[in-house]
Structure formats: structure tokens, C-alpha cells
Structure 1
């Protein structure tokens, strides 16, 4: 079945246009080649990165795009003026998340997570292991207090896994590292971001193995969704694969939704992929 028009969508990775690219400075300070000058650190992988969006009212820009494509809710960060304005003015459209930027500051990260939970009601946390400075691997002991606090607060953590787009070492994001974390934290809900490539076969095995492990499609144009993930969703994994976009960081919603028409999901997968799985994982009905 082709993409069912009119089905509500929950986007687990969306944001707001910004007037400059300073939000990527945390990545640039680690780069050692010409990619330091890229406006978007992984733009060599993406065509038609949406650079020229208006930024005088960024919340309205994102809301307009969400309305065009029936995106009911978007998971956004809770820091920055646009995000905080969106969460305050449109709590029915935006769901708060918090980023773990420096896991090496273990107690600072835990305190920040609790503060954002109490202040903004965050429904998720996220971390980019290869992008932390210094890098902190998925299974590093420094992450364990953060995982424990996520369990205690009852929120999932979205974790980038696989070779990163920016030209950074991939070792902290090897998919095999997830296995030990899920063993040590059976109550932790962990959602992978950014593909798990080139270890998608292993990711599928782990998704089957661990009940609280999920996969999101963030940062991938749908035509490039890994074949193993599509087949998994169509068979035993309909409840495990979650839609995530990448607007406006690297993809337009026009591109995403146009490509979505050709994803060969079976009928029973679409509603779960587009909104039901995210609604359950983020506990949006509670």
C-alpha cells in the first residue's frame, strides 16, 4: 500500500529555521578537514539542504510545514528561544525533548535532565555519542546515570547509532554497544536515530531481542530507508519502527513526503509507523 494521505503524523525529529549555523559549533570544534567550513556539517551527504528559510518567525515556518503534511505533533528541543516559544504557545503541537550535550559532566547532565523534566515536562532525552566532546560511547559508564534517570522519570532516550554523517570517528556509535545497555537497563526505552548503518542487520537482531528497543528513521530520505528495516517493519517489527524527519536540518518535508509515496510498507504498518508507535513510546496519551 502506498502512503495513506490524511493519516496523522508524529515527527520525532523536527526543529526551527535559524539565521546562522552556530548550532553546529559543537561539531565543528572536533572536525579536522574542510568540512569545518560546511554550513551543515554533513551536507556532503544531502542535496537541497533547506538553507534559505525565513527566520523572522521560525515557529510559524515550522508550523506551516507541519500543517501542509498533516503532522499533528513534533518532538523538539526545549532550549533556544524558538523552541521555548513553540512549547509555550503551542503545547498541543510540540512535545519537549532535552539533549545530553556533555555526558562527561555526569552529575551536571543528570541535574539538567531533571531540571528540563520539571520545567518543560520533557517526554524524551537525546544524545549524539560521536558528537560529544570528548566523545562518550553508547555503553560508556558515564552514560549509565543518565540512563538510570531516564528510567526513573519514565522517558525514552533517542541515541544516534551507526556511522555519523559529520566526519567524526564512529567508534562511540557502534550498534553492538546497544546490547550491553539494554541488558543492564531492561526498563530503559531506547530509540536509535540516524540509521544504524552499516549494521542494520545487527540492529534488526537487537530490535527483535530487546522489547524496549526501537528504531527511528531520522535523517533519511524515505527512498534510502534501509531495506532490512522496511522488511522488518513489514514482518515482525511493525511496532518497533518510528517515523523521524530531519526538517529543517537536512531535508525538506516536501522531499520526505514525496519519497514516502514509494516506501513499500504493508497496510498494517503505516499508522503504527507514522504516529501510533511514537504516541506510545512518548506516552502522549498520559
Structure 2
């Protein structure tokens, strides 16, 4: 049996899977307004329903919105997703983690370094109410933009260390047509130097600086990479090679349902990813379980 055949069964019904980037399709809500208002090109403002639409094929559309939590749960069950990490910023996320605590892990609202004290108070409140296991950052989407290593981010990193939770941060060229300099992977080096206790997980690929991401993961013990927003056939070769050699404990599975990818597409393409057999359980769940401090 090949490694591909093993994971075809494992992703669906064998190996447990923790999806560190999953969510809900909320009724009557445009979750991308905060991005669209910053773009300047006509397509982004007038044509795209999804700011990175030009990059993605088969974005889940026409999903029922009468009960977003049940829709996501059904998709998870269909594809063997054991646990999903979801933001508690929205009503569905808050309801999901309260009604289905065994299936959903709470992630705090996206941090806003333009409102430092508001973000710190919100992190504390969500930690106390929901027991959040992480927070997220989208530097290119902040308005005005704030770089990953900017002074405004440092109190937020310090609070992550204090609460003992990781930050999942977008790094690399953003899909939406926004400026990218604030997400250059080299900025992470400053952050890890100043916060060696911080657990930092990159999101959305780190391209075109994926080789630099690997170099930094070799350097910094608490730096990780998640595969969010990338269909498996597009996983960067540098990341696959790293996982198969020295980085088996550093690469974490993440999808992008329903924002940009269907779980069906991910499940269909996953068997062709050439991870070694011993990498799969770490990639699909064990690394996330350790980073998020989930019970076995």
C-alpha cells in the first residue's frame, strides 16, 4: 500500500484530522467588506464576491445558511474532520464551541493592532468566556496596515505569551489585491527574536518566501507553518521537502472551508501529496493537538 492510499482512507475515516482553519457561511453577511474597502482596482470593488476570487476555483457557493453550524458539521463528518478550530468573532462560532465543544476549538477574534487596548481586553474576555486556544492576524488586512514586526503588535504578542496561546498569522503575498510588505516572511525573524516563548504559526502559504520560512523554522523552535488557503496540489515543494526531512513536527494541516476551498476538493487532492508515511499523523492532527494544547 502506498502512502497516498493510506491517507486517502485516513483523511476520510482513519487518521483523525484537526482542521485549524474552518468556518461558517453566515446569512446576509459579507465577511469581506473590511478588505474590499481597502482595495482600489475595479474588479475587487465591483465584480469579486470573494477578494481573491481570481486565484480560486470551486469556491463553495449556495451553501444553506439556515443553520451554518450544522452545515459545517455535516461537511466535517463527510470528510473525516474530527475537530475544527473556529473563530468566536461571529455568532455561529460562539454557538458552535458551546454546543459542540468536542468538535470545535475556539479561536479568538482577529487581532487589531490599530486598537491595541481593545484587542487586549477582547483577548482576555474571550479567554475567560470561551477558553480560546489561539488568536489570528491578517496584517495586510489591517486598516491602516500594520506590519508583523511593528511596535503595535508587540503588546498583542506579549498577551499571547501571558495567556499561553499561539498566534496564527498570515504571511506572504496576500490573495486580495492589497500591499504585501507588512507580511514579508523576514519580519517574523524580529518577532521570534524578541518573543522566544511565543508560538507563531504562519497562515496562507508564505509565498514567494517559502524557502525563507523553512530557514526560519529551522532557526526558531516555536515557529510553525499551516497549509491554510492552499489546495493540496499547490502545497509548496519546499514545505513538503521540509516535512519529509527535519520538519515533520512543524507543518500543520489547515483547510479554508467555506471561504475559498471545499473539503471535497481537499480530500480528493490530499492523497497525491508525497508526504512520507510517518508524516501524515503529525500533519493531520498531532502537531495541531500539541500546539493548541488539546487533550489526546
TM-score between both structures, scaled by the size of structure 1: 0.98
- Say which of 91, 98, 114 aligns to 1:104: 114
Q: CA deviation at 1:4?
A: 4.9
Q: Does 80-89 or 217-226 show the bigger shift?
A: 80-89
Q: Is the 8 A contact 2:52 2:176 kept in 1?
A: yes
Residue number in structure 2 paired with 1:63: 73
For structure 1, which segment, 196-205 or 27-36, has the greater mean C-alpha deviation from structure 2 after superposition? Answer: 27-36
- 1:8: how far off? 0.6
2:194 pairs with 1:184:
yes
Cα deviation, residue 32, structure 1: 0.5
**Which of 249, 252, 266 is the matching residue for 2:262?**
252
Flag as ranges the 4+ runs of structure 1 deviating above 6 A. Answer: none
Q: After superposition, what is the alpha-carbon deviation per residue over 1:219-259, rounded to whole angstroms, capped at 9, x for unaligned?
A: 00000000000000000000000000000000000000101
Higher alpha-carbon deviation: 4-13 or 227-236: 4-13
Matched, 1:131 2:113: no
For 1:57-77, what per-residue CA distance to the aligned partner results, in whole angstroms no more than 9, with x for missing partners? Answer: 111110001111111110000
Name the CA distance, whole Å, in 2 between partners of 1:158 and 1:265: 23
Q: CA deviation at 1:21?
A: 4.9
State which drifts further: 96-105 or 210-219: 96-105
- TM-score for both structures, normalised by structure 2: 0.95
Within a 5 Å distance, the mapping from 1:1-286 to structure 2 comes to 1-2=3-4, 3-5=7-9, 6-33=14-41, 34-37=43-46, 38-285=48-295
Name the CA distance, whole Å, in 2 between partners of 1:134 and 1:285: 39
Structure 2 unaligned spans of 5+: none
Q: How many residue pairs align between the two structures?
A: 286
- CA-atom RMSD, angstroms? 1.0
| Conserved 8 A contact 2:166-2:292 | yes
Consecutive unaligned residues of structure 1, counting only runs of 5 or more, are none
- Contact 2:228–2:254 (CA<8 Å) still a contact in 1? yes
